[in-house]
Amino acid sequence: MESTTVALKWAQHKKIVFLTLEAKNLAEEGRVISLTPEGHLHFEGVNKVTSAKYKLELNLFEEVVVETTKWKVTDYSVQFSISKKVDSGAFWPRLTKEKAKFSNIAVDWARWVDEDEADEKKLDYDDQDFGNLPDEDDEEEGEDDDDENVDLGDLDDEPVKKPEEVKKEEKKEVSLEDKEKTEEVKTE
């Protein structure tokens, strides 16, 4: 059976690169994970349900610290916290050394921190405790949870409007408001 290239998501912080390999139901047998100080990541594994073979070869943008790098295997993915070797706090411009677009690599927006916001969003990361890594399900501190409780009603009852129709309705509303204001001024 031919190997499937694993899809992965990535994010970074000043000192850490996060990778999530989307390898579901990974069997312990036949699993190979290796990372060199030069930043070469090799991954192989087999889905224990479908017997699909996963494979990934990746040359990271810069050198890494293998000793402080952590990973854990879940039912849905393999998650990595890779420590950057250069501790300058500089963000990598891309994940790989190659200046190519890879169809299997995407940004993990749930974990992404912009370089200019890195100091504001302190990452509570203990390199000895993998459990402190930011997770896709974690909420930012102080972030409102209002979006989850919003009642959107029954969206199927309303017909989908074209942008032109929406603009016309907005113009009508503005015209009505202006007309009402004009009438108020006349009556005073």
Statement: the pTM of the whole predicted model exceeds 0.85: no
Q: What pLDDT was estimated at residue 113? A: 83
Give the sheet arrangement for strand 53-59, strand by strand.
Answer: 3-5, 53-59, 40-46, 32-35
Strand partners, 11: 18
List all residues 6 or more positions away from 102 whose beta carbon is below 8 Å from its beta carbon: 96
Given its phi and psi angles, is residue 153 left (phi above 0), alpha (psi -120 to 50 degrees) or beta?
Answer: left
Task: Work out whether strand 53-59 and strand 64-73 pair parallel, antiparallel, or are unpaired.
Answer: unpaired
For residue 6, count CB atoms less than 10 angstroms from its CB and return exposed for 0-12, middle for 13-18, buried for 19 or more: buried
The residues, any chain, with a CB within 8 Å of residue 161's CB and separated by 6 or more, are 169
Instruction: Measure Cα distances from 21 to 5, 26, 109, 174, 186 in Å.
Output: 10, 11, 15, 51, 68
What's the CATH number of domain 3-132, 1.10.10.60, 3.40.50.300, 2.60.40.790, 3.40.50.2300?
2.60.40.790
More confident residue, 140 or 30: 30
Q: What is the pLDDT averaged over residues 66-79?
A: 94
- 99-152 pLDDT tens trace: 999 999 999 999 888 877 766 655 555 444 455 554 444 433 444 444 445 455
What digits encode the pLDDT tens for the residues 151-182? 555 545 555 555 666 556 655 555 556 666 65
Name the pLDDT band for 32 (thresholds 50, 70, 90). Answer: very high
User: In the structure encoding, which two tokens stand for residue 148, read together?
Assistant: 């989850």
Running DSSP on this structure, what letter comes out for residue 2?
Answer: P
Q: Where in the chain is the domain with CATH 2.60.40.790?
A: 3-132
Q: What is the mean pLDDT of residues 33-49?
A: 96
Tell me what the pLDDT averaged over the chain comes to: 77
